[in-house]
């Protein structure tokens, strides 16, 4: 019995070693940002990103690219998420693989947090400078205080070259041009080395002599006072006074070397310029909406009224960054990420042009594997299972109108 | 060998065993403090210590000494009252800062590629050395808490200024003024640390105009006194040997 136990133990140990060794040879890169894990209602009912454009798909180190587009701060913002009164335009990338060379909302630089208004559309742009080679999933992103990160659509971008060539030149208000990538690094190392040397000297002074056992015996037998000599006290004084002198002198020298310094800058930017979309002449009423679980499709019954003066057709339904298109009306020409684009995902029971003044009730189906892949179907398990999205209509001249929809979603399991 | 026999046979051997024991204890103490203190400081000081664009004149100056005087006080209590070794604070802070440097270099730079000049740790060593010397000279917990705790808070900002000052040089960037530290925080994208999380320059210490740092340092020193007392008692309690049968603590 013991022999069998020993063999099992040995084999288990060998198996563990083999597993660990094998794991070393297979270490896939973790490149996701958890966008699929974010609650579906958060992605569908908070920030609607649209007209997104990634200017490049391949960028050499030190070169720049932009993510630009618009976002609608949804008027039906869920009650379970704090309003975007303090928000920050961010990008979802795996660390500083790019540096954020600039970010703008409505043409204003936004290095700080901003206050956004519900129901408004904003135009944005983020300028990125390539830093670390690799294939990176680059997302638009809005952080909302009390709401968390609201991640937008992402696209794969390749950075080529070598990170060692990356430079980040900045000219200060004192007229000095520096490379922020390595600026003041020697100074950091120098001062930390100086203080470590002093601290080690103090420690060495004490630990070079017998420590725990004899000193404990001395303390226990009432001879503690004999353990600290007059010489020790003098050395201690030298360390204490020396420390204060070095601190004072280094501070004075630093003030002389850097006479112009300012405090960190912080604050909230309000009154961001909104983007005025063309006035919509189409009104849409959602009569009902169901999500058919087996078919991975959402069906809506819409009553659409055209109050304009030219016929319109429904061409796109956009929710959580997933775009369902009717190719007979609109085709994407922006190289939108394939996994977020259902080029033939939108079917309308009667999508003939809706004449001015006409009202029509239609069945609209948005179907694609993206419902499952992007876990939007999980909406039915969310605390606020209403869906929302953007409908885009086009007239015969190619003029686009945007209408938001927001309604309860009933799941269908059969 | 019977239970009454000594494990060593000569004085030389006893000295050798004692020294071996010293190094074993020192190594164990150092690594234990490194781990415990590091976790404590990361949880309480956290971003104020991680990033240069958090190292401001108010909250960094106030928070860092208060949350970092803890382990030095506790380890001092053990090493001084049991062994008369005045190295508790320095040992703790050296352990913490070695752990921090390993973390910042291996993880922040080596793993996620943040430049070291944005994520270097704060310097806590001047205050720790002075804390140890005051305990040695005064042989008093109260004196060390009051004078040492205050000094620990007061020395923090000037002790870090030579490192942080170059990053407070202003820059004009796309029509806005910011410091180089602000620009580092903006350039080097932190997906999970949006700008509004940054707790800097908040508070009501406006009475002294732009000279906020000394007021913050004094306030930090006063609170450090209280925290020193508290953690010194923690240290004494942990250094008790009551759990060993027939042993008087």
Show the 3-state SS of B137-169.
HHCCHHHHHHHHHHHHHHHHHHHHHHHHHHHHC
Question: What pLDDT does B245 receive?
Answer: 60
* Gap between the Cα atoms of B19 and B28, Å rounded: 14
For testing contact with chain A, the best of B187, B241, B249 (most A CBs within 10 A): B187
Touching A: B residues 114-133, CB under 8 Å = 114-117, 120, 123, 125-126, 128-130, 132-133
Question: Residue A375 phi/psi, 5° resolution?
Answer: 55, 35
Q: How far A198 CA sits from the closest chain B CA (Å)?
A: 9
- Average of pLDDT values for B43-61? 94
Q: Do A172 and B170 touch (CB under 8 A)?
A: yes
Residue A345: partners with Cβ closer than 8 Å, 6 or more residues away: A323, A324, A325, A366, A367, A368, A370
pLDDT for residue B16 is more than 70 = yes
Is the predicted ipTM greater than 0.85, yes or no? yes
Question: What pLDDT does B2 receive?
Answer: 54
How confident is the model over A214-240, as pLDDT tens digits? 999 999 999 998 999 999 999 999 999
Is the minimum CB–CB distance between A218 and chain B shorter than 8 Å? yes
Give the CATH H-level superfamily of domain A179-257: Helix hairpin bin (1.10.287.710)
How confident is the model over A320-338, as pLDDT tens digits? 999 999 999 999 999 999 9
Contact residues on chain A for B196, CB-CB shorter than 8 A: 86-88, 113, 143, 145, 268
Contact residues on chain A for B126, CB-CB shorter than 8 A: 195, 243-244, 246-247
- Average of pLDDT values for A124-129? 98
Q: Do A219 and B136 touch (CB under 8 A)?
A: no
On whether residue B243 sits in a domain, the answer given is no
Residue A134, helix vs strand vs coil: strand
Confidence of residue A387 (pLDDT cuts 50, 70, 90): confident
CATH architecture assigned to A40-172:
Sandwich (2.60)
Confidence of residue A1 (pLDDT cuts 50, 70, 90): low
Question: What pLDDT does B69 receive?
Answer: 98
On whether residue B24 sits in a domain, the answer given is yes
- What is the domain count for chain B? 1
pLDDT for residue B249 is more than 50 = no
Q: Do B117 and A184 touch (CB under 8 A)?
A: yes
On whether residue B143 sits in a domain, the answer given is yes
On whether residue B97 sits in a domain, the answer given is yes
Which of A100, A236, A258 has the CB atom closest to B86's CB atom?
A236
On whether residue B8 sits in a domain, the answer given is no
Contact residues on chain A for B80, CB-CB shorter than 8 A: none
* Gap between the Cα atoms of A362 and A393, Å rounded: 14
Q: Do A174 and B177 touch (CB under 8 A)?
A: no
Q: Do A99 and B117 touch (CB under 8 A)?
A: no
The CATH number that domain A282-412 falls under is: 2.60.40.1580
Question: What pLDDT does A373 receive?
Answer: 82
Confidence of residue B60 (pLDDT cuts 50, 70, 90): very high
CATH number at residue B57: 1.20.1450.10
Instruction: Please give the residue of chain A at the shortest CA–CA distance from B181.
Output: A264
On whether residue B244 sits in a domain, the answer given is no
Question: What pLDDT does B206 receive?
Answer: 67
On whether residue B1 sits in a domain, the answer given is no
% of chain A beyond a pLDDT of 90: 75
* Gap between the Cα atoms of A315 and A296, Å rounded: 20
For testing contact with chain A, the best of B112, B196, B206, B215 (most A CBs within 10 A): B196
Q: Which of A28-32, A197-201, B84-88, B142-146 has the lowest mean pLDDT?
A: A28-32
Touching B: A residues 135-164, CB under 8 Å = 141, 143, 145, 149, 163
Closest CA to A49 of A95, A105, A99, A133: A105
Q: Are B185 and B118 in contact (CB under 8 A)?
A: yes
On whether residue B9 sits in a domain, the answer given is no
Is the minimum CB–CB distance between A88 and chain B shorter than 8 Å? yes
Which of B113, B163, B176 has the CB atom closest to A188's CB atom?
B163
Closest CA to B114 of B193, B29, B177, B229: B193
Q: Do B117 and A199 touch (CB under 8 A)?
A: no
| Rg value, chain A, Cα | 31
Domain ranges of chain A: 40-172, 179-257, 282-412
Q: Which of A36-40, A286-290, B81-85 has the lowest mean pLDDT?
A: A36-40
Instruction: Please give the residue of chain B at the shortest CA–CA distance from A257.
Output: B166
pLDDT for residue A36 is more than 80 = no
Touching A: B residues 143-202, CB under 8 Å = 155, 158-159, 161-163, 165-184, 186-192, 194-198, 200-202
Domain that residue B18 falls in: 14-238
DSSP summary character for residue A140: E
- Would you state the structure tokens that stand for residue A125, as one six-digit string? 């742009």
Question: How many C-beta neighbours within 10 Å does residue A145 have?
Answer: 18
* Gap between the Cα atoms of B75 and B73, Å rounded: 6
């Amino acid at each position: 019995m013991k022999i069998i136990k020993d063999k099992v133990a040995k084999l288990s140990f060998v198996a563990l070693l083999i597993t660990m060794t094998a794991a070393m040879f297979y270490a896939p890169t973790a490149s996701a940002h958890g966008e699929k894990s974010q609650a579906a209602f958060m992605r569908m009912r908070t920030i609607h990103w649209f007209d997104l454009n990634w200017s490049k798909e391949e960028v050499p180190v030190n070169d720049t690219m932009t993510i630009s587009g618009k976002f609608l701060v949804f008027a039906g913002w869920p009650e379970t998420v704090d309003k975007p009164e303090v928000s920050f335009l961010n990008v979802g990338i795996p660390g500083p693989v790019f540096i954020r060379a600039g970010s703008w909302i409505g043409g204003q630089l936004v290095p700080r947090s901003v206050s956004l208004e519900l129901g408004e559309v904003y135009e944005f742009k983020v300028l990125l400078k390539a830093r670390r080679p690799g294939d990176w999933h680059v997302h638009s992103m809005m952080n909302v205080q009390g709401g968390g990160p609201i991640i937008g659509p992402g696209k794969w971008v390749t950075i080529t070259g070598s990170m060692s060539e990356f430079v980040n030149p900045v000219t200060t208000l004192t007229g000095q041009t520096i490379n922020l990538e390595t600026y003041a690094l020697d100074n950091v190392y120098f001062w930390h080395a100086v203080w470590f040397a002093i601290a080690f000297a103090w420690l060495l002074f004490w630990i070079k002599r017998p420590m725990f056992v004899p000193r404990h015996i001395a303390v226990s037998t009432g001879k503690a006072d004999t353990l600290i000599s007059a010489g020790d006290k003098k050395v201690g004084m030298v360390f204490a006074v020396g420390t204060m002198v070095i601190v004072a002198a280094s501070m004075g020298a630093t003030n002389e070397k850097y006479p112009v310094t300012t405090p960190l800058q912080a604050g909230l930017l309000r009154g961001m310029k909104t983007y005025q979309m063309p006035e919509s002449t189409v009104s849409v009423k959602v009569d009902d909406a169901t999500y058919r679980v087996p078919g991975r499709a959402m069906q809506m019954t819409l009553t659409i009224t055209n109050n304009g003066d030219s016929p319109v057709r429904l061409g796109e339904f956009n929710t959580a960054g997933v775009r369902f298109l009717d190719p007979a009306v609109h085709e994407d020409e922006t190289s939108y990420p394939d996994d977020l684009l259902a080029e033939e995902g939108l079917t309308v029971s009667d999508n003939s042009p809706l004449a001015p003044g006409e009202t029509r009730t239609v069945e609209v189906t948005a179907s694609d594997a993206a419902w499952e892949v992007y876990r939007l179907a999980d909406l039915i398990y969310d605390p606020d299972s209403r869906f929302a999205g953007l409908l885009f209509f086009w007239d015969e001249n190619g003029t686009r109108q945007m209408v938001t929809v927001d309604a309860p979603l009933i799941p269908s399991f059969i | 060998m019977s239970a009454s026999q000594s494990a060593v046979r000569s004085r030389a051997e006893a000295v050798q065993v004692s020294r071996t024991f010293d190094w074993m204890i020192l190594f164990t103490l150092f690594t234990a403090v490194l781990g415990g203190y590091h976790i404590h400081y990361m949880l309480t000081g956290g971003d104020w210590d991680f990033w240069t664009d958090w190292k401001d004149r108010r909250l960094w100056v106030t928070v860092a000494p208060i949350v970092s005087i803890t382990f030095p006080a506790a380890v001092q209590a053990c090493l001084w009252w049991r062994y008369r070794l005045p190295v508790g604070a320095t040992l703790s802070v050296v352990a913490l800062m070695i752990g921090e440097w390993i973390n910042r270099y291996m993880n922040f730079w080596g793993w996620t590629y943040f430049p070291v000049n944005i994520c270097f740790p704060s310097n806590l060593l001047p205050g720790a050395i002075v804390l140890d010397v005051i305990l040695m000279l005064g042989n008093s917990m109260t004196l060390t808490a009051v004078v040492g705790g205050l000094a620990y808070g007061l020395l923090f900002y000037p002790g870090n200024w030579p490192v942080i000052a170059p990053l407070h040089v202003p820059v004009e960037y796309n029509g806005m003024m910011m410091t180089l530290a602000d620009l580092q925080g903006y350039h080097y994208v932190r997906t999970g640390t949006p700008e509004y999380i940054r707790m800097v320059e908040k508070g009501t210490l406006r009475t002294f105009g732009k000279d906020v740092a000394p007021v913050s340092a004094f306030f930090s020193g006063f609170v450090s006194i209280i925290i020193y007392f508290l953690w010194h008692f923690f240290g004494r309690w942990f250094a008790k040997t009551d759990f060993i049968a027939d042993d008087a603590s």
